[in-house]
A and B are shown apart, each in its own frame.
Chain A
Amino acid sequence: MKVTLKNIGKKYEGREEFTIRNINLEIEDQDFCVILGPSGCGKTTLLRMIAGLNSVTEGDILFDGRRINTVPPKDRDIAMVFQSYALYPHMTVYDNMAFSLSMRKERKKIIDERVREAAESLQITDYLYSKPSDISGGQRQRVALGRAMVRKPKVFLMDEPLSNLDAKLREHMRVELVRLHKSLETTTIYVTHDQTEAMTMASLIVLMNDGVIQQAGKPEEFYNKPANIFVARFIGSPTINIIEGTVKDGKFITPDGILSITPCLEDKECLSSYEGKSISVGIRPERFESGDHHLDKFDCTIDVVEMLGKEKIIYARLDNGQELVISTPGHYNYNDGERHTFGFDISALHFFDNDTGLRIN
């Protein structure tokens, strides 16, 4: 089902400010849409509005072109997985999964079929008659998914469903969720604050901050073409390096002149109208290059080296005190306190306007 948000705004009772406003979004049928953002940015509010648990202050929510603003949650053909799973503690796993269908007065035989089908695909058939308190966190997570699955909803809503699992299990469930999404052929809207989850699972990422959509698009667009400084900083680990400076004679130069970068031809064109203005350059840690053959080089002192196995994260300091994070392959030899020379991969630079924070190139 296609979900369209038109100019959505939400103001909670008794608050002066809108929590979210002017949200415009189109989620295509069978999209895996991840709403990403720091805590308090309004992403859960948005999801709850789509679910019908919160009212819509302004704007329209359309499911396949039908306005559903005032349709109660049970008639929206949705299912939701909650962060705390919200399993009914006094019912067995089976009853938990069967509850929504029995509320709809579905026939016993159909309920039984659906529950067993879902239980089998999630491998929880052994616990069907246990209470939620008797099974582990990972199993509860599956039951919560199963409870949503038996409904065969058109839209799947998930509110940080993996945040209560340990790291290994989370990685495993990530893949399983994507598999599930593909086999169910539904639209999934997934809320998280974890950029790794967003990057790995989404076919469409919506990054929100302060109640506004910062960027919406495919995961690779997010990494390679962040729309503004916030997006650049939010996506990617370790965090992108942002250096402030000005444009001078088509070159990027820091105020003290310690760094100067000659952009590639395409970037130069974009920067031509910013001559003399204050801008920032962003460069991902893995886009620094070692060696002497580069046009623009800089010297730095290594503060700390983090060894991660496949890569080394170097926290280096320029002579003016600016800190840079550089990622290098794990087998390269770098040690604390050494001085090294690095250059830039000029095809991977991100330029931002300092006044607006928006991307230039």
Chain B
Amino acid sequence: MKIFKRKNKKNLYLSDMQPLNFVGKVNLGLIYAVLITWSIIIIWPLYQMIVSAFNGVQGKYLRLNDKFEFSLKHFEYLFNETLYLTWVKNTIFIAISTAILTLIIVSFTGYAYSRYRFKGRKASLMAIMLIQTIPLFAGITAYFTIHSIVSAVIPAFSRQMMLILIYAGGNIASNTFILKGYIDSISPELDDAAKIDGCSNFQIYRLIIKPVARPMLAIIALWSFIGPFMDYLLPRVLLTSPGSYTLAAGLFTLINDFRTINQPAFAAGGLLTAIPIVILFISLRKQLVSGLAQGSVKG
């Protein structure tokens, strides 16, 4: 609680402002009450999930009771009795492919929209924005049709690849806007300087813009990566065999299907799912720190 600086017993200071009066103190109390309630709402289920995952007393159904006995049997169940590892593999494959595909396409679109003036630039930007408001799921019949047409020509085109295309396609719209905005803030004089130094347009992006825009690219990669972890509906509908399920779809079979139900194992699976995302966050932490562009122009 560093924001409180008690200069003497009577007065309460918030950072460097005037001491709080009575109304100010009440308001501060209210704000804290709201924040604490909010955090309880978020933390309580997480806490229950962690406790249940390690609780050996729990059977097939989760029961909230006081008994606790540390055990890893739910994890054992997850690895031995379900296709959990396959689901992890599927999800990571889909997530990484989505992230890479999104990055490549968005790099081109974001850079082009930011730096080039062409006919229909504004109109197409608007179109992308509007199309984006239609939920991904609305195109479900189209997805089936596209898949059956493409897989007739290329038999190797699986439902998972279809899913990757849908995720990447859905990410392009909003991320194009975000990256365009970021590249807009990079001085175009950098492009000019690179041009005089002998760069082609593609080299300007690869050698100058991409490194400068790295914080934003890292964030886009992260979001695209997390997407497949979170989505349940599309994999559930598009993927047919449990062997091709992603984590979300696979784990769901543990709580909604009476044949395979095992709620504590679901909790354990959910807990493990967080690990790759946490690893990614930690490894991208340095890239996420923005401000790289500072110092390029004037100071």
In the bound assembly, the distance between CA atoms of A82 and B296 in angstroms comes to 12
Does residue A314 face the partner (Cβ distance < 8 Å to B)?
no
Given contacts A83-B189, A89-B212, A90-B292, contact A140 B299 (CB under 8 A): yes
In the bound assembly, the distance between CA atoms of A134 and B295 in angstroms comes to 8
B293 to chain A: closest residue by CB: A89
Does residue A344 face the partner (Cβ distance < 8 Å to B)?
no
A91 to chain B: closest residue by CB: B211
Contacts of A147 in B (CB 8 A): 193
Contacts of A88 in B (CB 8 A): 190, 193-194, 208, 212, 296
Q: How far is the CB of B268 from chain A (nearest CB, A)?
A: 43
Q: Is the CB of A104 within 8 A of B198?
A: yes
Q: How far is the CB of B251 from chain A (nearest CB, A)?
A: 41
Does residue B66 face the partner (Cβ distance < 8 Å to A)?
no
Contacts of B198 in A (CB 8 A): 74, 100, 103-104
Q: How far is the CB of A170 from chain B (nearest CB, A)?
A: 14
Contacts of A137 in B (CB 8 A): 298-299
**Which one of A13, A79, A104, A136 contacts B299 once the chains associate, using CB atoms below 8 Å?**
A136
Given contacts A53-B192, A90-B212, A90-B292, contact A85 B197 (CB under 8 A): no
0/1 per residue, B175-213, Cβ < 8 Å to A?
000000000000101101111111100010000100110
Tally of contact residues, A, Cβ under 8 A = 33
B211 to chain A: closest residue by CB: A90
Interface residues of A in 130-168 (CB under 8 A from B): 131-134, 136-137, 140, 147, 164
Contacts of B196 in A (CB 8 A): 51-53, 73-74, 78-80, 100
Does residue A87 face the partner (Cβ distance < 8 Å to B)?
yes
In the bound assembly, the distance between CA atoms of A338 and B192 in angstroms comes to 57
**Which one of B197, B214, B294, B299 contacts A74 once the chains associate, using CB atoms below 8 Å?**
B197
Interface residues of A in 198-240 (CB under 8 A from B): none
Does residue A99 face the partner (Cβ distance < 8 Å to B)?
yes
Q: Which residues of B contact A (CB under 8 A)?
A: 117, 187, 189-190, 192-199, 203, 208, 211-212, 214, 292-299
A-B contact sample (6 more), CB < 8 A, given A73-B196, A85-B298, A103-B198: A51-B192, A86-B187, A89-B294, A100-B197, A103-B203, A132-B296
Q: Which residues of A contact B (CB under 8 A)?
A: 13, 48, 51-53, 72-74, 78-80, 82-90, 99-100, 103-104, 131-134, 136-137, 140, 147, 164
**Nearest 9 A-B pairs (CB), nearest first?**
A133-B295, A89-B296, A84-B297, A100-B197, A74-B198, A103-B198, A86-B189, A86-B193, A90-B211
